[in-house]
Structure 1
Amino acid sequence: MMTSKTLSLPTTSRRQFLKVAVFGAGAAALSTVLIGKARAADLPHLTLDDATAKALGYVEDHTKVDAAKYPNHQSDQDCAACNFFQGGDNDEYAACTLFPGKAVHRNGWCSGYAPKPA
């Protein structure tokens, strides 16, 4: 004759679960940011020969943008002021979300420029 056994699982309150979930999500986000910043210095610099750089008209010196080709460019637009630039105030080169795996010059510019929110 077979008897059925019930499996007893430990009980976890909703509050305990949320604490663990929030802590885990925060730790994952922090590690992603720290690892991303550490690796940004190791990224190869974007070259003017890169296909995406050519498509977006990237230049390393925003004062040398072809005004006839990019009439929307303004003199105060550079990578350091762009929302896609991932560097800090003192970073000469930094990651850019428009050019994954490459670092752009802070004084550069491309047609994907979007101002940082105020």
Structure 2
Amino acid sequence: MQSRRSFLIKSVGVVSALAVARTAFAAAAKIEEKDPAAVALGYAADASKMDKAKHPKYAAGQSCSNCQFYQGKATDAFAPCPMLGGKQVSGKGWCNVYAKKA
């Protein structure tokens, strides 16, 4: 009986640890352009389609992938951005808080 009880207790611990790890490492949701935070920052998923009249701070060649806030590799299609609540942004995107990566 003792070995069965030990097994069950250990199993519950392992399953709980796996559930917590899965939640902790789950990918953040991709932000949509209609999200209120995205609208507030002028986020667009494709910087090549930016309206210069509406977003005068935008300059050709700027994109999330070469911004200091982009938390991924420059080659990643999507990565989290702390400016947008840690949600995934497109590497080809752009927003008003763009700051060139050093």
| TM-score under structure 1 length normalisation | 0.63
State the one-letter code of the partner of 1:116: K
Q: CA deviation at 1:44?
A: 0.5
Pick from 85, 98, 111: which aligns with 2:83? Answer: 98
Root-mean-square deviation (CA, aligned residues, Å) is 1.8
Task: Find the counterpart in structure 2 of residue 84 from structure 1.
Answer: 69
Query: Aligned pair count?
Result: 80
Q: CA deviation at 1:101?
A: 3.1
State the one-letter code of the partner of 2:29: P
Q: Following the alignment from structure 2 to structure 1, what is the Cα–Cα distance between the partners of residues 53 and 36?
A: 21
Pick from 71, 75, 87: which aligns with 2:60? Answer: 75
Pick from 39, 46, 69: which aligns with 1:61? Answer: 46
Extract unaligned runs of 5+ from structure 2. 1-20
Q: Which 4+ runs in 1 deviate beyond 4 A? A: none
Structure number with bigger Rg? 1
Identity %: 40
Q: Following the alignment from structure 2 to structure 1, what is the Cα–Cα distance between the partners of residues 94 and 84?
A: 12
| TM-score under structure 2 length normalisation | 0.72
> Which of the two has greater helix per residue?
2
State the one-letter code of the partner of 1:91: D
